[in-house]
Amino acid sequence: MSLQFRADVDLRPHNTFGMAARAARFCQLENLADLPALLAHPLYRQGPALWLGGGSNLLLTRDYPGLVIKVALSGIRLLEDMGDEVIVEAAAGENWHGFVQRALAQGWYGLENLSLIPGTVGASPVQNIGAYGVEVKDHLHEVVCAQLDRQGEPLVLSNAECRFGYRDSVFKHEAAGKLLVTAVRFRLSRRADLRTGYGDIAKQLAEDGITSPSPLDVSRAVIAIRQSKLPDPAKLGNAGSFFKNPIVSAAQAQALLADHPHLPHYPAADGRVKLAAGWLIDQCGLKGYRDGDAGLHDRQALVLVNHGHASGEQMRALARKVQDDVRQRFGVELEPEPLIL
């Protein structure tokens, strides 16, 4: 067994907000063969336990009293080659952006719009990550899981069994705490089917002088857009978009648009309408707002940032202020994306 347990570990390097918090116990799971021994270990069985990926979707507001397990499983392999399509498996601990770039380099297309999203492959189906008109569910084939209450016995879920929704999946509901994502399988194409009509992709490609873009061109455009709007967590602590884009009824959307005709909005399921949370926050005058070291980014109001020494409680209080201001001005509820511990 290669597991090593450490006591009183600083979690700042393990969460992109850079929150100062400590774990009573900490270990890394680098080999799936070690999982049964980990699940049987007294430090795990006495609880509590927190499974951690890249820490890019987490707000720590306190020290963690139990065992923090960083999932560091690695490996990418081609499972099936069907000519125009391939099935590729990536281990849960692989860096998401690194995996996307490796797939593109191999000529496996479909994930280019999801370039530069922080976090790990294992987190991608949990959150059903998405950007620029594409969600991970659009190209996900299967999710390989370990059953935590059955000594890590494997279980493979199909796309349909994951019950994907907007930033939602079965892993956030009845599977939470029961299934651990160990690998994700993607169905990718050797034929480009580009999605350039969402956001600023077409504009960026035009600025780059590209009239017949390749998937790699689209990836580069997405990277450029994200870098121009979003702060680098290595330089300014953040967890990306802190709030989900709210989905409201058609009637509520019509009423809002009557008063605010420039409100960005998009069709959602069941005739409902998705609103742009960043626009709502910006209209409340909060872009660039700062209370001590807790603030909102000056180029993207949807991103809460740690200017250096903000505490998790200060960040949570700022999130509540944003929610209150948007509710009072527009009557719309904003829901946080990250797990707030």
Give catalytic residues, as residue numbers: 167, 241, 337
Burial of 270 per CB tally in 10 Å (0-12, 13-18, 19+): exposed
Nearest to 325 by CA among 289, 273, 297, 275: 289
**Which alpha helices (H) appear in 16-59, and where do they start and end?**
35-40, 42-45
Cβ-contact 329, 281 below 8 angstroms? no
- Angle at CA of residue 67, ends 62 and 69, nearest 5°: 105
Q: Could you tell me the sign of the dihedral formed by the alpha carbons of 315, 320, 323, 325, in that order? A: negative
Q: Which of 111, 103, 157 is nearest to 135 (CA)?
A: 111
85, burial (CB in 10 Å: exposed 0-12, middle 13-18, buried 19+): middle
B/e letters for 172-191, b = 16+ CB within 10 Å, e = fewer, are eeebeeebbbbbbbbbbbee
**Distance from C-alpha of 288 to C-alpha of 85, rounded to nearest angstrom:** 45
Check if the beta carbon of residue 2 is closer than 8 Å to that of residue 34: yes
Which parts of 61-199 fold into alpha helices (H)? 96-105, 123-127
Whole-angstrom CA distances from 281 to 111, 242, 249, 297, 341 are 29, 11, 19, 11, 23
Query: Rounded to whole angstroms, how far apart are CA atoms 275 and 265?
Result: 5
Q: How many CB atoms lie within 10 A of CB 17?
A: 25
